[in-house]
Structure 1
Amino acid sequence: MSETAHTPTTPPAPTTPPAPTTPPVLIVGAGPTGLTLALALTACGIACRIVDKAAERTQVSKALAVWSGSLEAFAGLGVADSIIDAGIRMTHMRVGDGARELATMPIAEGVDSAFPFVVIIPQSETERLLAEHLAARGVTIERGLELVAVDQTAHAVRAVLRPAGHDDDRADSAMTAAYVVGCDGARSAARHAMDIPFTGYTEPQTFILSDTTMAGPLDPTSLYVWWGAGGSVALFPIGDGVWRTFAMRDDPDDQSPPDLDEMQAQLNRCGPPGLVAGDPTWLSAFRVNERLAERYRRDRVLLAGDAAHIHSPAGGQGMNTGIQDAVNLAWKLAAVLQGRGDATTLLDSYEAERRPVARQVIDGAAQKLHVGMVARGTTTRLLRDVAVSVVSKLPMLRRKLQVDLSETALRYDTGALISRPAPQSAHRHPAPGERALDGPHGEGPFWRHLSVSHHCLLVFADALPPALAQSRSHCGTAIAVVTVTLTDDPDGVLAARYDARPGSGDWVLIRPDQFIGARGRADDAASFDAYARMALLPAG
């Protein structure tokens, strides 16, 4: 500036410092669902804030089983190895009646997965490991805070938080976020704030459980389901000689926690012979609720995990269903916040895809509970014995049971993202809405290319077909391209897994949650473009 240039006669107004960056997503609840959601969002480059009412993470075992479907989801987050290393791989399910072992069946038999097994790990450990991974990404759980109010506008959510246990609203703090996700359990404050009905029923029976040491002839890599004249028990190894015992109490009105003597009496009358329980670390009595939220989203507030669905622990599906809710939702929220795709289509597809899954899980868990625990009497006992004998001798039935438990048979049939393929691809599997499959790719497994942070465009050629290359170019880093050459797949195993022709340019678009988004032949860019408009291309 020259000396003769005009200078203001009044000083400029002081510059206001920029407001602190507010994370666009508030996650309420730091259980496995909330932690998985936070990990997935941060992997996608989306900042989040995660709060929890509890002053510290759970110290009891709670949910134990991590099934194949959840291990696949954890693999896409880079945390599967931590979970597997810290847990116990189960090898068999043993079923018996009184002094007789009726059957020993392999676990995860016939499960088509990169992780064809179930890992037993206490929920407390699962939460610890997920929290450590989240802390490594710079996100700290804010504990002792509960959600007390939510106010929405067309563009944001104002959430009011309060120190847990305080009644004075002078301690409240407010934040504004683009979205709030309630992962805060069966009594979800987020669900209540949105006045979303939680419909279902409560089983009239009272169930009891314990975590104790267990002396006796038990295999620490097996699950046990056993019955006798006095009822049924289920036994699950936790590690270091500790076992979970689950049973139904005779008096349905007695809600008091059991003592060690009561648990031992259950083992004596209907468990495997020769077991002695000791040193309890958890004793609990509870009723089973089977409930489903009537909707998973109200505008900018969404529900996941137990906030959206609860059911019997039979089959060990609850935590797993919540984990997979989180992975399904995370990439869709990320796309919306990054200005890609159609926001309404993406967010509506979360409920359209995941709520039917929860309905199936609730119904299946209720059936397992009634068949395995609630039903009693001589006739029921004989029918169980016969059913176990039949199932254990028929591989097809054994595999169906295991595949259902593993959550690898899930497919999405509803929602706008599940577009019907072109006629030439109509009968090829996996189809849109079905799970991605693993197979060999070069020197390693194909699943190593899958990540929650982007779509994977699998192309059976050494380069993208010209019709697809132009369409893909508009999607930027939202898609990683993986080509499959004859060198990568010399025996055509991966091509066969995807019902594709080696070297043909056939392509499969795999979503970040490892479900198929679209597929087509080399000259079929239309199917890709239709999906890309909904989920990948810049909005507008």
Structure 2
Amino acid sequence: MPVRTTDVIVVGGGPVGILLAGLLAVRGVDVEVLEQRAEPSLRSRAIGIHPPSLRALEQLGVAGQVLDRAVRIRGGVVRSDGRTLGRMSFAPSADRTQSVISLPQTETEAVLRARFAELAPGRLRAGVTVTGVYDRGDRVAVDTVRTAGEAVETLEARYVVAADGARSLVRDLLGIRSAARTGGETYLMSDYPDTGEHPGEAVLFFERGGVVESFPLPGGRRRWVAMTEALLTEATSEDLAALIRDRTGVRLPPTDAVASAFSVQQRLAARLVAGRVVLIGDAAHQISPIGGQGMNLGWLDALQLAPALDRALREPDAAASVLGDYDRRRRRSARMAARQAGFNMAMGGPVQGLRLRARNGLVRMLAVPPASAVLARAFTMRWL
């Protein structure tokens, strides 16, 4: 029995893979998503959504739904030793798609999945693990197995997109290097009831022991993230609240949320295109989530890759050119984002004495025009 050939198979049904699949489906591309998880993840690390990403959500037809669920971040304030060093405004606009917003990744992903189900019913296949990828020249064969361990199946597509995360199996199967560039910093985060002291603002505490960050969430909550000396996998939300109190003086109310520890790695794949297989999102590049760039950078990949794949399918002679352009442009954007993330982490590291005063002086300088406008443009990812 002949194997049915799909236009595009997307490996990975997280927020980046499902957004790309939706953007392809809107264009009439026959697309299927293979997701290893049987159920959507309940972990919610990414919360920030920047204006360029809202363009992608607008193309998919879900920007309104996401905006209605989210809270708007009007700007940011930087504090140290109980004093305000500076403020940054994210240019208020009547156009909601020009906003910086906050919404837990689980809710964003639910909106994306629902929209894809409307556009391509039954084409998200959950509980499927990819075990092999073979570029046959005019198509790609994908070996799969049900996550439970039965029902081996081989699928075919004209193109395959690896959206399977930082530990991408597809990338490894292709032998594409993804060397660590910088990283190793560790953080602890959790969500707490919002005390209302900084409505609509992100707050950065540049303290001697390391940065503490705070962002508004829907439903009267706030996310708090603190740099730590080591990966505190056993720490609780009470432990984090105590750390924040000691470092900043802020007393947080009790919460039933579970704390999450994570470490930061910065990686960039040696190439994003290998024949008829393309890397996207964390499979292509992994940068620090501090500053809210990770998921957004993957969405900007999708915003460029969707029309590129559509054209490659319609005009085979142009495929090498348009996919090569995707590779060059997205690698350049990833390098820029990594440099910005490195700056963010360096600014937030533990400092004492003269270095602390020098850093605080730099923050004050960056918080006034014209530097503040450039910084706001960088933090809202308008140049990536």
Per-residue CA deviation, residues 140-192 of structure 1 (Å, 9 max, x unaligned), is 421111111011211111101112253xxx63211111111000100111101
Greater length-normalized contact order (CA 8 Å, ≥ 6 residues apart):
2
- CA distance in 1 between counterparts of 2:132 and 2:9 reads 13
When structure 1 is superposed on structure 2, of 122-131 and 216-225 the one drifting more is 216-225
- CA distance in 2 between counterparts of 1:43 and 1:341 reads 23
Report the counterpart of residue 382 of structure 1 in structure 2.
357
- CA distance in 1 between counterparts of 2:148 and 2:284 reads 24
- CA distance in 2 between counterparts of 1:230 and 1:287 reads 17
- CA distance in 1 between counterparts of 2:23 and 2:97 reads 20
| 1:118 corresponds to 2:95 | no
Out of 9, 22, 25, the residue aligned to residue 26 of structure 1 is 9
Per-residue CA deviation, residues 316-371 of structure 1 (Å, 9 max, x unaligned), is 11111101111211111111212366121112111011111011111210111111
Report the counterpart of residue 391 of structure 1 in structure 2.
366
Instruction: Specify every segment of 5 or more residues in structure 1 that has no aligned partner in the other structure, as ranges.
Output: 1-17, 411-540
- CA distance in 2 between counterparts of 1:277 and 1:173 reads 51
Report the counterpart of residue 226 of structure 1 in structure 2.
205
Out of 349, 373, 378, the residue aligned to residue 404 of structure 1 is 378
- CA distance in 2 between counterparts of 1:352 and 1:159 reads 26
C-alpha contact 2:207 2:350 (8 A) present in aligned 1: no
Report the counterpart of residue 137 of structure 2 in structure 1.
154
Out of 172, 187, 197, the residue aligned to residue 192 of structure 1 is 172
- CA distance in 1 between counterparts of 2:245 and 2:353 reads 18
Report the counterpart of residue 351 of structure 1 in structure 2.
327
- CA distance in 2 between counterparts of 1:105 and 1:151 reads 49
**TM (normalized to structure 2)?**
0.93
- Aligned runs of 1:172-183 on 2, under 5 Å? 172-183=152-163
- CA distance in 2 between counterparts of 1:245 and 1:286 reads 13
- Aligned runs of 1:344-493 on 2, under 5 Å? 344-372=320-348, 374-392=349-367, 394-410=368-384
- CA distance in 1 between counterparts of 2:339 and 2:88 reads 24
Query: CA RMSD, aligned part only?
Result: 2.2
- CA distance in 1 between counterparts of 2:271 and 2:369 reads 38
Change (3 A) 1:224 1:43: same
Instruction: Give the letter aligned to residue 33 of structure 1.
Output: V
Change (3 A) 1:340 1:299: closer
SS of the residue corresponding to residue 401 of structure 1 reads: helix
- CA distance in 1 between counterparts of 2:351 and 2:104 reads 30
SS of the residue corresponding to residue 376 of structure 1 reads: coil
Quote how far apart the aligned CAs of 1:280 are. 3.7
Instruction: Give the letter aligned to residue 197 of structure 1.
Output: R
Instruction: Give the letter aligned to residue 188 of structure 2.
Output: I
- CA distance in 1 between counterparts of 2:237 and 2:327 reads 43
C-alpha contact 1:33 1:322 (8 A) present in aligned 2: yes
C-alpha contact 2:141 2:157 (8 A) present in aligned 1: yes
Instruction: Give the letter aligned to residue 202 of structure 2.
Output: L
Question: Kindly, what percent of the aligned residue pairs are identical?
Answer: 29
| 1:65 corresponds to 2:63 | no
- CA distance in 1 between counterparts of 2:217 and 2:109 reads 15
Report the counterpart of residue 243 of structure 2 in structure 1.
266
Higher strand share: 2
Instruction: Give the letter aligned to residue 37 of structure 1.
Output: L
C-alpha contact 1:321 1:358 (8 A) present in aligned 2: yes
SS of the residue corresponding to residue 379 of structure 1 reads: helix
| 1:241 corresponds to 2:216 | no
Change (3 A) 1:37 1:102: same
Instruction: Give the letter aligned to residue 155 of structure 2.
Output: M
Per-residue CA deviation, residues 106-125 of structure 1 (Å, 9 max, x unaligned), is 1247x9x8833201111111
- CA distance in 1 between counterparts of 2:235 and 2:199 reads 24
Instruction: Give the letter aligned to residue 284 of structure 1.
Output: S
C-alpha contact 2:4 2:156 (8 A) present in aligned 1: no
C-alpha contact 2:208 2:350 (8 A) present in aligned 1: no
When structure 1 is superposed on structure 2, of 138-147 and 346-355 the one drifting more is 138-147
Larger radius of gyration: 1
- CA distance in 2 between counterparts of 1:304 and 1:325 reads 6
Instruction: Give the letter aligned to residue 21 of structure 2.
Output: A
- CA distance in 1 between counterparts of 2:101 and 2:317 reads 36
Instruction: Specify every segment of 5 or more residues in structure 2 that has no aligned partner in the other structure, as ranges.
Output: none
Change (3 A) 1:406 1:92: closer
C-alpha contact 1:58 1:124 (8 A) present in aligned 2: yes
